[in-house]
Chains A and B, each alone.
Chain A
Amino acid sequence: MRVRPLGSTLTLVLIGAVALSLAASARADVLDDVKAHGVVKCGVTLASPGFSAENNAGKREGFDIDLCRAIAASVLGDETKIELTPMDLKTAFAGLPTGVVDVLTHRFTWTQSRDVGGLKFPKIMFFDGQGFVVAKKSKANKIADLDNATICTLQGSTSELIVASYFAAHKLKYKIVTFASAEQAWDAFVSKRCDTVINDRSGLAARLAKLPNRDDYKVLAETVSNEPIGPIVAQNQTRWEDVVRFTLNALVAAEELGVTQANVDTQKNSQNPDVQRLLGATGDFGTKLGVSNDYAYKAIKAVGNYGEIWNRNVGPNTPLRLERGRNALVANGGVMMSIPIR
């Protein structure tokens, strides 16, 4: 009897079908994934000076990049083991549950619908608010003057909703033009397609920093919303969420306790129990998270404390010239505080 080629084909198809049906379903534990692959994949903003932008040498740096480096340092011991993926709003939210990125260190606001919809926000690292920028020649000095104005904004951002509710509440009319990227929205504003742009005040400062004629524009004084901004992880990943939360929390705690990138080595021998717990000299806070006990030491050594990250990227000596404002430590009049490490 000769072997029917069709019979063997069918057999192969059947084996393949069985194999496919047994394939793994959900995404495994992200913390284990990161440790196994030896790299932290961060989704970042395409181009936001001070937060995530390429410098003249083509290397991406900024506030959000430093947060990613801190996570890599604490989990993998090496702050260079990061993979940065610039993403726009559309791809970023889909990239988390599918494993394209492990964490988003981006400029997205923590909102109820985003949280309940499947994104988790371990810790607020930037307390922002939305504001408007207009041309200095424009007759508008406050938002009430923007009746009937055309507003440029980023599609799908909270700005769209804020404009709708604010203008409806104050009985002002407006026209809106939405773009796929913040860059395009800004370019349209500069070429006078619209009268104003609404964005996070930090984003507005970043844009103005890039302009040679920044004095032709003014940011209106009013802040129209709360924008708590921080890293984002996929839901149902409690271990990874905790690691991200307490790594970044350590950076804030370090500033509160006076631990800096320069003195963290000597601080390891500190007699202050808070510093000892922070840097892993006592307690097992690190091992309970699933990382090494000196995770905070590694993170601080790599990027410095919260204040140092701020000054390096967006502080008074950078083109953005942002004041700490709400982001100052509680002791200095702001709302930035650490979760106690005990």
Chain B
Amino acid sequence: MVRRRLSRTVLAERWPGWVVQALLLAVVGWLAYRGVVNFQANLRALGVSAGFGFLHTQAGFQIAQSLIPFGPASPYLDAVVAAALNTLLVIALAGVLGTLLALVVAFGRLSPPGIVRAACGAYVETFRNIPVLLQILFWYASAIALLPGVADSLQFGGALLNNRGLFLPLGGDRPHVEGFDVSGGIAILPELIALTLGLSIYNSAFLAEIFRAGILSVPRGQIEAATSVGLTGVRAALLVTLPQALRVALPAAGGQYQILAKSSALAAAVGYPDIMQIVGGTIASQTSQALEAMGLVVLLYAAINLGIAAIVAFFNRRLLRTEGR
């Protein structure tokens, strides 16, 4: 009986589904293999690629801002790590600031006073429609042009503010002017300030609309029920509206955070030492190994974005469990 079924299969040319899939997989796998082999042969012929050994050689340059100890004697690998930390820092700062701004503007657009609604609407339309690079450059130019020079630094508390940055006291270490520059304390570069402002304001305009869509999806009955148990105003918004609004808003907001992470690469335009500038710029040209350097850049940004996606997916799952209807 098996033989008859087999011969019927062969004669009738009816291929079971798995055979077709296996064949397709084999073809794709062979294409990929050929592609990789071809790529490697081309690289050898061009003499362009030489591997990642350069990561252990001395960098020879300094980085303007580094969260880990770094100097010209450190290896390139440390430069990559420092650059990655700088990128994560600006993404975190811009993400938090952008989210706070977006929440304020989103609720503002839905609040009773007409002038508040109009102002928030204007905010959204203005900052959504100007290219983000222009916004970052605007903040950078303002920061440099409007802030005083080192000699006339603004002082408040123990902090100093001038066009070289914002210098905050660290414990007993108070910033003070020394010759050309300011010594002591923690320096926040004007590049970081400009990049954070530009990215957070631009993305807050989009996030505000995303959050507004989420807020509007919460049935009016919820707010009325909240009022009936004595929750009004901000407390009702935070405890009742927001969790339910996030259920709708979080997937889209997650995508916006990824856009924020990717557009942080514009740091190169203002001289902030992030992945694009240090790895894709300095390391790529110092070592002449543009291929490996850009490969690292792609990997790092992909890892950051996948990380953001994973975090968003985690919170999404939690929200569905608690707020799911």
Binding site for B on A (CB under 8 A): 1, 4, 6, 10, 13-14, 17, 20-21, 23, 25-27, 89-90, 93-94, 97, 113-114, 117-119, 146-150, 152, 155-157, 160-161, 163-165, 168, 174-180, 184-185, 188, 191-193, 195, 234-236
Contacts and interface: CB of A to CB of B under 8 A. Distances in A.
Contact of B46 (A93, A188, A236): A236
Interface string B139-167: 00100110001000000000000011000
B313 interface: no
A110 to B, nearest CB: 12
A90 B280 contact: yes
A1 B11 CA distance: 10
A154 to B, nearest CB: 9
Contacts of B31: 17, 20
B271 A148 contact: no
Contact of B180 (A94, A149, A165): A149
Given A25-B41, A177-B64, A97 B281 contact: no
B34 A21 contact: yes
B181 A175 contact: yes
Interface residues of B, number: 58
28 contacts: A4-B13, A10-B23, A10-B24, A13-B27, A20-B34, A23-B38, A26-B45, A27-B46, A89-B285, A90-B280, A93-B288, A117-B289, A118-B46, A119-B288, A148-B183, A149-B180, A152-B271, A160-B282, A163-B62, A164-B62, A175-B64, A175-B164, A178-B64, A178-B277, A178-B282, A193-B164, A235-B47, A236-B47
B288 A118 contact: yes
Contacts of B35: 20
Contacts of B179: 147-149
Given A164-B60, A236-B47, 9 more contacts: A6-B15, A13-B27, A17-B31, A93-B284, A97-B46, A117-B50, A155-B278, A155-B281, A160-B61
A174 B179 CA distance: 11
B180 A148 contact: yes
Q: Which of B47, B63, B190, B285 has the most CB of A within 10 A?
A: B285
Interface string B284-296: 1111111100100
B209 interface: no
A170 to B, nearest CB: 14
B30 interface: yes
Nearest to B281: A155
Contacts of B278: 155
A144 to B, nearest CB: 12
A156 B281 contact: yes
Interface of B: 13, 15, 20, 23-24, 27, 30-31, 34-35, 38, 41-42, 45-48, 50, 60-64, 72, 141, 144-145, 149, 163-164, 178-181, 183, 189-191, 268-271, 273, 277-278, 280-291, 294
Contact of B27 (A14, A23, A117, A179): A14
A17 B30 contact: yes
Contact of B271 (A6, A21, A161, A178): A178
B180 A155 contact: no
A232 to B, nearest CB: 11
Given A184-B271, A192-B149, A150 B180 contact: yes
Given A161-B60, A177-B271, A178-B277, A90 B27 contact: no
Given A93-B284, A155-B281, A156-B286, A148 B269 contact: no
Given A118-B48, A175-B181, A93 B285 contact: yes
A109 B35 CA distance: 35
Contacts of B144: 188, 191-193
Contacts of A188: 144, 271
Nearest to A185: B271
